[in-house]
Amino acid sequence: MRISVSVVAAARLHLGFLDMNGALGRKFGGLGLSIDAPATRLTLRPAEAMEATGPDAERARALLENAVAALAPGKRYRLTMEQAIPPHSGLGSGTQLALAITAALRRIEDLPQHVEADAALLQRGARSGLGAGLFTRGGLVVDGGRGADTTTPPVISRLAFPETWRILLVSDPAAIGLHGAEERKAFAELPPFSEADAGKLCRLVLMQALPAAAEEDFVAFGAAVTAIQSIVGDYFAPAQGGRRFTSAAVENLLARLAEAGATGVGQTSWGPTGFAFAPNEAEARRLEARVRGAAEASGLSLAVVAGADRGARIDAVYAEIA
């Protein structure tokens, strides 16, 4: 029998860190949401030589080689990338790609799935466990941050995201979010984060954002996300040209959306993708129409997406060897 494995992994929004102070012994923690587009879609199958083709193939091959060296040394595979989450856009592309590859490899080799270990193996989740948690579960999750002995930050809460709510994504193709050495440098140079602000963030998540999502209170959820993003955005502004947003064009368009009635406005991770929430499809499309011309004039991409309430899909196909 010959086996090939296909994996579909959804993009995610990083809605904000919780505690960058770390006085309690754990640092970072975060609130994140799976969204139904864009997504990484790939197929892996045994082959005579190592090969990767399609979008983001160079990065995918490097991740595959590292995974094979650890999990199936000496084996060879062909990786076909059908679709990739745009890299360095704040949508979790690297983590979802790494975990999709290792999930496919484990399925082919009949190894138990171990998402948290694979995240550590491929050096994902240095600060956040959201990518691993959302790959497994989808929905709206909170990770508990990194302690002294943490491998991958644990998911401590997972809620379904209301089906009718929508998210408007605004992205600047001309900008790239901080990553790699530049990201590490930015964290090293940022000032200490206050305990008072960490307390505010944790309270906003525990006592407003999560209960609001559970009770489908859109107004309270949007207000919580806006407040979280204001605190986090101000802290990271020195690494983003003095702004809460990597892209000034994205910032300006989100301000237009807020004026038109959107809420929960912010930037995912280092951007350049920004987001705003709407209570339903009709309102999302109304808001989209209001700013479509301005988006096109600024060279920005604009999309309406929904939450994704399931983890990655992993499908195996078996065929007789000819």
- The 10s digit of each residue's pLDDT in 275-285 is 999 999 999 99
Answer yes or no: are the C-beta atoms of 118 and 95 closer than 8 Å: no
* Same domain, residue pair 280 and 320: no
Question: Per-residue pLDDT averaged across 261-286, rounded?
Answer: 97
pLDDT exceeds 60 at position 296: yes
For residue 69, give its domain range: 1-160+310-322
* Same domain, residue pair 274 and 130: no
Q: Which residue has the tokens 């307390």?
A: 199
* Same domain, residue pair 21 and 116: yes
- The 10s digit of each residue's pLDDT in 204-222 is 999 999 999 999 999 999 9
* Token couple for 104: 């496919």
Among 221, 202, 198, 223, residue whose Cα is nearest residue 210: 221
Supply the pLDDT for residue 292. Answer: 97
pTM for this entry: 0.94
CA gap 263, 218 in Å, rounded: 9
* Same domain, residue pair 10 and 141: yes
Kindly report the average pLDDT of the chain as a whole number. 95
* Token couple for 80: 């076909």
- The 10s digit of each residue's pLDDT in 63-78 is 999 999 999 999 999 9
* Same domain, residue pair 271 and 319: no
Q: Looking at residue 38, which CATH number applies to its domain?
A: 3.30.230.10
Answer yes or no: are the C-beta atoms of 118 and 98 closer than 8 Å: yes
State the total domains in the chain. Answer: 2
* Same domain, residue pair 170 and 277: yes
Weakest-pLDDT range from 155-164, 173-182, 194-203, 294-303: 173-182
CA-based diameter of the chain, in Å? Answer: 66
* Same domain, residue pair 77 and 174: no
* Same domain, residue pair 3 and 146: yes
* Same domain, residue pair 34 and 168: no
Give the chain as a 3 state SS string: CEEEEEEEEEEEEEEEEEECCCCCCCEEEEEEEEEEEEEEEEEEEECCCCEEECCCHHHHHHHHHHHHHHHCCCCCEEEEEEECCCCCCCCCHHHHHHHHHHHHHHHHCCCCCCHHHHHHHCCCCCCCCHHHHHHHHCCEEEECCECCCCCCCCEEEEECCCCCCEEEEEECCCCCCCCHHHHHHHHHHCCCCCHHHHHHHHHHHHHHHHHHHHHCCHHHHHHHHHHHHHHHHHHHHHHCCCCCCCCHHHHHHHHHHHHCCCEEEEECCCCCCEEEEECCHHHHHHHHHHHHHHHHHCCCEEEEEEECCCCCEEEEEEECCC
- The 10s digit of each residue's pLDDT in 21-63 is 999 999 999 999 999 999 999 999 999 999 999 999 999 999 9
CA gap 213, 219 in Å, rounded: 10
* Same domain, residue pair 64 and 17: yes
* Same domain, residue pair 150 and 167: no
Supply the pLDDT for residue 84. Answer: 98
* Token couple for 4: 């090939």
Q: Looking at residue 166, which CATH number applies to its domain?
A: 3.30.70.890
* Same domain, residue pair 51 and 121: yes
